[in-house]
Amino acid sequence: MTVCYRFESDIPEITPWEELGKILDELRRAGKTIVFTNGVFDLIHPGHVRYLRQARSLGDALVVALNSDASVKRVKGPQRPILPLAERARILGMFEMVDYLTAFEEETPVEVIKALRPSVLVKGGDYTPDQVVGKDFVESCGGSCVTVGFAEGFSTTAIVQRIVEMSRKAAR
């Protein structure tokens, strides 16, 4: 059983689930389409920017749920995240295509998806629709799940590996 943390934060860019849920309810009443995606977004690269633009184009408001630092460590390993949640949120908060940011402590976003009830759930093309956490819930509420194109050649892991290799060569 997953413990659902109602993520509270003193990071100004992060909107708590309950508050965000009320905002999204108002948008839905106004006929707006809510798009949701999630991820670590540790070292922002062109693939992230392209992905977020594609996600935003699918509706009227884009919600990005960030893994908390503890969640990232559990999912990606003890060396991650490279940038703490506050810095990742500040960067994403500057993007015009991101309307709202929230965060979650769990390993998957299923609880925040259930709390926010998006119309469209988006993941990158490195996922198949059946692999997308929350797909069944969103579809049961009348929404859809979309996978958008994967930007080949861009990944945070590859950037980290390149930095490590460059550091090793410089140390020789």
The CATH number for 123's domain is 3.40.50.620
142/87 Cα distance (integer angstroms): 35
Evaluate if residue 158 carries a pLDDT over 80. Answer: no
Residue 147 half-sphere exposure toward CB, CA atoms < 13 A: 15
Evaluate whether residue 3 is within a structural domain: no
Evaluate whether residue 5 is within a structural domain: no
40/110 Cα distance (integer angstroms): 15
153 or 69, higher pLDDT: 69
**What does the pLDDT read at residue 108?**
94
Evaluate if residue 110 carries a pLDDT over 50. Answer: yes
Q: Give the total number of structural domains in the chain.
A: 1
69/81 Cα distance (integer angstroms): 6
Evaluate if residue 151 carries a pLDDT over 60. Answer: yes
Evaluate whether residue 11 is within a structural domain: no
Evaluate whether residue 4 is within a structural domain: no
Domain that holds residue 36: 17-171
Q: Are 53 and 26 in contact (CB under 8 A)?
A: no
Evaluate if residue 47 carries a pLDDT over 70. Answer: yes
What pTM was computed for the model?
Answer: 0.88
Both tokens of residue 28? 């839905």
* φ/ψ bin of 132: left (φ > 0), alpha (ψ from -120 to 50), beta (otherwise): beta
Which band of pLDDT confidence, cut at 50, 70 and 90, is reported for residue 12? confident
Calculate mean pLDDT across residues 124-140: 91
CB proximity list for 118: less than 8 A, separation 6 or greater = 24, 34, 35, 36, 63, 138, 143
CB proximity list for 62: less than 8 A, separation 6 or greater = 35, 36, 37, 52, 55, 56, 97, 98, 99, 100
Q: What is the mean pLDDT of the chain?
A: 89
Evaluate whether residue 142 is within a structural domain: yes
Evaluate whether residue 135 is within a structural domain: yes
Evaluate whether residue 78 is within a structural domain: yes
Evaluate whether residue 12 is within a structural domain: no
